[in-house]
Amino acid sequence: MFPKIDIAGMVCPNNVFLAPLAGYTNYPFRELCRGLGAGLTFTEMVSAKGLHYNSEETKKLLYCGDESPKAAQIFGSEPALMRAACESEALAPFDLIDINMGCPMPKIVRNGEGSALLENLPLAEKIISECVKSGKRISVKFRIGITDDKKITAEFARLCEGAGACMITVHGRSRERVYAGAPDYEEIASAKNAVKIPVIANGGVWSKGDAEKTIARTGADGVMIARAALYRPQVFADIAEIEPPPMKELFLKQLKETKELYGERFATVFMRKMAAFYLKGVKGAAEYKRRLFQAQDTEEVARLAEEIFC
């Protein structure tokens, strides 16, 4: 059910991936999930325009180590800039470049990026084909349509394959639904039936059972886990059938690595947020969250973690 998967010669140890999550999938969190069994992890989405203007903040999102394989996600609406991003030194270490054509956030859509490209098929096709010319492996992540009454999943899947993409990930919800409601498994299946390249199903996977159901109902070649990983990254260990380390050990390691890489202030703020996610289902969570968000430094966050995840 969760075998190795070959994506244009890039072999992943299994077919259960960590989704790109804006604001969260930095290097320490990706490494946490990889250590727990994720077959492939993606950076948070990176602006091609930001790379063009040599933004240091944008480059920080692309920090990576010697892990293999590894994937980055980029977004933009200008084919030439998207190709230049793929050819840039910043993206050179990555084995796969994913193009975001599914983000539903208004500030992205207003710029003609993300899911806005579902309404401009010629431009979407041009962006993919230009990125493919970079010589990198190119994948595309997209939604089933803008609204539930205008789904274009199979058509868009064929467009991606025809333009040279070596994999697609289908989020089984329309843009109007954002993250609400169950994924449309039939639409994901329609993408799988329309193309020969690997198809990854995204949406509604919170457990091993959900992953099995999604693959069974869609015929997809794998699944991508998003929000579930924020609340409980051990979901990857469940699927990989490995025994995860205790939450306290995982958290303190993530805290240490985040501080070393991004500094004291970022680590304090970021790991307070992560601890709040990890507290789901913990007795007394509301009080712990109140204390966490008053923590002023990583030492205080670590002390609270020792108490919370004992």
**Which of the residues are catalytic?**
103
- Burial of 81 from C-beta contacts in 10 A (0-12 / 13-18 / 19+): buried
Could you tell me which of 25, 26, 71, 75 has the C-alpha nearest to residue 52? Answer: 75
* 8 A C-beta contact, residue 208 and residue 238: yes
Q: Phi and psi for 205 in degrees, rounded to 5?
A: -100, 105
Q: What token pair was written down for 179?
A: 């993250």
Q: Phi and psi for 142 in degrees, rounded to 5?
A: -145, 170
Exposure pattern of 160-192 as b/e (b: 16+ CB <10 Å)?
A: bbebbbbbbbbbbbbbebeeeeebbbebbbbbb
Helix (H) or strand (E) holding 121: helix 121-132
Residue 299: half-sphere exposure toward Cβ, Cα within 13 Å: 0
Who contacts 39 (Cβ-Cβ below 8 Å, separation ≥6)?
2, 4, 5, 12, 13, 14, 15, 16, 17, 222
Who contacts 247 (Cβ-Cβ below 8 Å, separation ≥6)?
234, 278, 309
